[in-house]
Chain A
C-alpha cells in the first residue's frame, strides 16, 4: 500500500475556536468564500447527552477521490504521498467536483469562477513543515499523520463521526479521536 498523508483530528481537544480556518485563510489570502477548512459542531441529537463537540475539516485527500474521477480537465492529481492537489490553472469552473465531493470541500471561488480547495500545504510539507492549520491549532487537536493500518489498529482511532458521510464513498484520509462524554450533572 502506498503512502497516504492525512489529518488526525482529536475532537476531545478541539474547542471550536476556528483558529485553523483563519490560519488557512491567512496562508493563502483567501476570501470569506470559499472555505478550504471549516469547523463544524456535532449535532446534539447524535449523542445521549448534551454536547459541545467540534471537528475541523478541509479536503480529506481521499484514497478514492471523487473530485479527481469526475474532473474533465485533469485539474486534480494525487501525489505519491497521497495528497490530492487541485491545479487552478487547469480548472475551467465546471463545478462537477463540487457536486461529487460528499464533504463539500472543493468550492467555487465566485470571484475567480474556479474551484479551490486545500492542497494540504504541500509546499510546506515539502520543506518539512506542518500544514498551517496544524501549526495554528492551539489545543493541539489537529495533526498531520500517515494513514495506514497501524494507525487504524490503535484504540480510539475512528474513521468517522456522527453527522459525516459514510467513508465508503471516497475513503477519506482523516481519522478522529473521541469525543468521549464526561459525566454531566444537571439540576432538576
Chain B
C-alpha cells in the first residue's frame, strides 16, 4: 500500500486535499487529508467517487478520430497519428494564412491545476492565436471587488466561525461548498445568527435561521435599502473618512435616490423586514456577508456586488475579524507563470474573444478566419449560450480537437479526441479561490490506457511541430512534470507560502501565510489606497462611479418566466460523478401556483421555450420557489436537446477590467411554458 497527496482540481470553492491509497499500482481509495484545515479529512461525494471515475469503463483511454462530426463513429488511432494530424494542420494553416491566428483555444476550468496551463503555453509558443478570454463564472463580482478594494480577496473561510451574524447572499454552500457548512454550524453553535438571501429556498436556506426571498437581480437595490436604513438610524461607521473614499457622495445618493418604499416594491421585501435586517446588520459585530457567484450572473451583477460591498463598508464590517464581505480570492495563485509563457516576441498579441460569446466573436473574425479549435477543460456545447452560432462556427472549422476524460456534448462535434489523465495520474499544483491552502498533486498511478497529461500533450505537439518544421514552436518539447511544477513556485509564491525552497511543497499542502482576516488594517490596494465608494476607475471604464441600482432585465409577454439553472449537488457544471443515476428528463421546479396557472401537476410533461430554443421538461411543483422563476438544476440528463439550447449570451456589466471580458449573465434567461 502506498499513499499519495492529491488535490481535487474541480472548479469548486473547496479544492480539497486528498490522500489516495494505491495497492500494486492500482488506486483503491481516496480520503480527505486531515492536516488540511479546510478539508479536515473529509471529501464530498464527487471526490469520493474518484476511484470509479478513474477506472470508469466510459473513460476514453486512447486517442480517437471521429469519421464525420456528430456521427459517433470513433476509431482508435495512435498518438503519432493524432499528433501528426494536429501538427500538420497547424503548420498548414500558418503557412496558408501567414499567421497562427486561425488557431483558436477554448480552455477553462475542467481541471484547475496550474500545469494545465501548458496548453496555453503551447499556443503562445506557436505564435499569436485566437483565445477565449474572460470567465463564464465570477467576472462581474471580481471587477466589482477590484474597484472597491483594489483586488478581490476573501478572509480565510475559517474566520467565518467567529462571526455573530452571517448573511449568505446568493450562495448555496450546502451544495457548492459543503466544507463551509461545518464552519457555519460552528458559528451557529457559538450563537451566531444565519440569514440566507436567495431567489429560491435552497438546501442552505433550510439550514439558516431566516430565509429572505429576493426578486432575482434586485439584490443590489436591497443592499442599498439596507444602507439607507443604516444612514437613517445613524449606524454608519464613524471612521469612514479615514479609510474610504467618496462616502459622502454615496450617502448623498442614498439620501436622494433610494426610497425604502420603492426598494420594497422592487425587491419584494417588506419595509419592516428591510429595517429589521438592516438594524441587525448594523448593530451586530462582527457580521459577515458571503456574496455568492449567483448574485452577479445578471446584467447588473457588478453593481449588485458593489452595493453589497458598500453596505459592508458603511456598517464598518470591513477588516473585522469574522466580518467583511467575502466573495473569492486569487491571492494564492501568484505562480511564476513560466508554463504559459515560453519565449515569444514581446509584441505578440493574441486575438481575444470573450469566452461567453466565443462562437459569435470567432465567427466575426474574417482576417484571418478561425480554422482550428482546441477545446481543453471545457464543454462549451453543453455550457455556452447561443448554440446556433456554435453550430455555424463548427461548420467553418477544419479541425476540432477535444482533450478530455470522457465524451461530452462538445466531443460530439470533434474530429480528434485526446485522452487526458486524471489528477491521480499526473503532477500538478493547485490553489483554491476560497481557502488559503496550496499544494502539490502527486501521481498515484500510471496513466490509465494511453492517456497523457495536458503538459505531456503540449510537449508532444511542440516536439512534432519542431520535427516537421524546426523552430515552429517555442514551447518545450519534453521535460519533467515535477520540475515544471516546482518552477511555478517563484519567489513571490514561496514568500506567500512561507517556504524556503519549492521542494517543500512536496511535503504536503501548505497554508498561505496571510492573516485570517482580510483588510484588517483597512489599507486597500485601490488607486487611492482607500475603500472606494466612488471609483474613478469605474468612471474610466464608462461604469457608474458609485454603486447604484441598475435594474436587471425583465421578463416579457413572450417569455414571462425567469429560468434559473443553479448547480446541483451531484455535478459541477457538466462534470458528473459516475454513481448518480442519470435521468433522461429535465425536471422543471416551479411554484405550485405557477404550475396551477399553466394547468400542470407533478409529473406532467411540458415544454419551455424562448427564441433561442425549446426543451421538454417534467413538472415538479415545489414551494419555496417564487412565482416568476422556474428552476432546472444542472443535473446530468441524457437528452438529445441540451439545457443550454435555451440560453443566449447576455453579458454582465463588469468583468473586462480584471479578466478581459465581461461575465455571463446566465440568470437573465426567460422562457415561456406550455403543457404538452
Q: State whether B269 touches A139 (Cβ < 8 A).
A: no
B contacts with A, residue count (CB < 8 A): 46
Among the listed A17, A44, A183, which residue makes an inter-chain contact with B45, where contact means beta carbons less than 8 Å apart? A17
Q: State whether A53 touches B44 (Cβ < 8 A).
A: no
Any chain A CB within 8 A of the CB of B77? Answer: no
Q: State whether A185 touches B42 (Cβ < 8 A).
A: no
- Further 12 A-B residue pairs, CB within 8 A, beyond A22-B45, A138-B42, A182-B207: A15-B178, A16-B174, A16-B203, A17-B569, A18-B570, A32-B579, A44-B622, A52-B202, A52-B205, A138-B181, A140-B182, A186-B624
Any chain B CB within 8 A of the CB of A149? Answer: no
A140 to B182 alpha-carbon distance, docked (Å): 7
Of the stretches B149-157, B208-216, B462-470, B642-650, the one at the interface is B208-216
Per-residue CB proximity of B62-102 to A under 8 Å, as 1/0?
00000000000000000000000000000000000000000
Which chain B positions have C-beta within 8 A of A184? Answer: 201, 205, 210-211, 213, 624
Per-residue CB proximity of B457-492 to A under 8 Å, as 1/0?
000000000000000000000000000000000000
Which chain B positions have C-beta within 8 A of A12? Answer: 207
Among the listed A15, A136, A138, A185, which residue makes an inter-chain contact with B212, where contact means beta carbons less than 8 Å apart? A185
Q: State whether A22 touches B579 (Cβ < 8 A).
A: yes
Any chain B CB within 8 A of the CB of A154? Answer: no
Q: State whether B43 touches A182 (Cβ < 8 A).
A: no
Q: Which residues of A contact B (CB under 8 A)?
A: 12-13, 15-19, 21-23, 25-26, 32, 44, 49-54, 135-140, 179, 182-188
Q: State whether B44 touches A17 (Cβ < 8 A).
A: yes
Q: State whether A26 touches B178 (Cβ < 8 A).
A: no
A183 to B195 alpha-carbon distance, docked (Å): 9
Q: Give chain B's interface secondary structure class.
A: loop
Q: State whether A13 touches B269 (Cβ < 8 A).
A: no
A179 to B207 alpha-carbon distance, docked (Å): 9
Complex A-B: 17 CB contacts under 8 Å? A15-B178, A18-B45, A19-B43, A23-B48, A26-B29, A26-B48, A52-B201, A52-B624, A140-B182, A182-B205, A182-B209, A185-B269, A185-B273, A186-B213, A187-B213, A187-B215, A188-B626
A52 to B174 alpha-carbon distance, docked (Å): 11
Q: State whether A50 touches B579 (Cβ < 8 A).
A: no
Q: State whether A52 touches B206 (Cβ < 8 A).
A: yes
Closest residue on chain B to residue A23 by CB atoms: B48
A15 to B30 alpha-carbon distance, docked (Å): 22
CB distance from B620 to the nearest CB of A (A): 11
Per-residue CB proximity of B612-654 to A under 8 Å, as 1/0?
0000000000111011000000000000000000000000000
CB distance from B229 to the nearest CB of A (A): 16
A39 to B623 alpha-carbon distance, docked (Å): 21
Most chain B beta carbons < 10 A, residue from A13, A22, A44, A54 = A22
Q: State whether A139 touches B626 (Cβ < 8 A).
A: no
A26 touching B211 in the complex, CB below 8 Å, given contacts A15-B178, A19-B42: no
Q: State whether A186 touches B626 (Cβ < 8 A).
A: yes
Which chain A positions have C-beta within 8 A of B174? Answer: 15-17
Q: State whether A17 touches B211 (Cβ < 8 A).
A: no
Q: State whether B210 touches A185 (Cβ < 8 A).
A: yes
Which chain A positions have C-beta within 8 A of B49? Answer: 22
Closest residue on chain B to residue A54 by CB atoms: B203
Which chain A positions have C-beta within 8 A of B210? Answer: 182-185
Among the listed B44, B268, B622, B627, which residue makes an inter-chain contact with A50, where contact means beta carbons less than 8 Å apart? B622
Which chain B positions have C-beta within 8 A of A51? Answer: 206, 624
CB distance from A49 to the nearest CB of B (A): 8
A187 touching B44 in the complex, CB below 8 Å, given contacts A17-B178, A18-B569, A182-B209: no
A53 to B29 alpha-carbon distance, docked (Å): 30
Among the listed B29, B30, B178, B273, which residue makes an inter-chain contact with A138, where contact means beta carbons less than 8 Å apart? B178
Nearest first, the 6 closest Cβ-Cβ pairs linking A and B are A50-B624, A187-B268, A15-B174, A52-B206, A50-B623, A22-B48
A139 to B623 alpha-carbon distance, docked (Å): 25
CB distance from A77 to the nearest CB of B (A): 28
A15 to B44 alpha-carbon distance, docked (Å): 11
A44 to B592 alpha-carbon distance, docked (Å): 12
A13 touching B185 in the complex, CB below 8 Å, given contacts A18-B569, A138-B179, A182-B210: yes
Which residues from 245 to 282 on chain B have a C-beta closer than 8 Å to any C-beta of chain A? 268-270, 273
CB distance from B169 to the nearest CB of A (A): 14
Any chain A CB within 8 A of the CB of B175? Answer: yes
A25 to B48 alpha-carbon distance, docked (Å): 10
CB distance from B675 to the nearest CB of A (A): 22
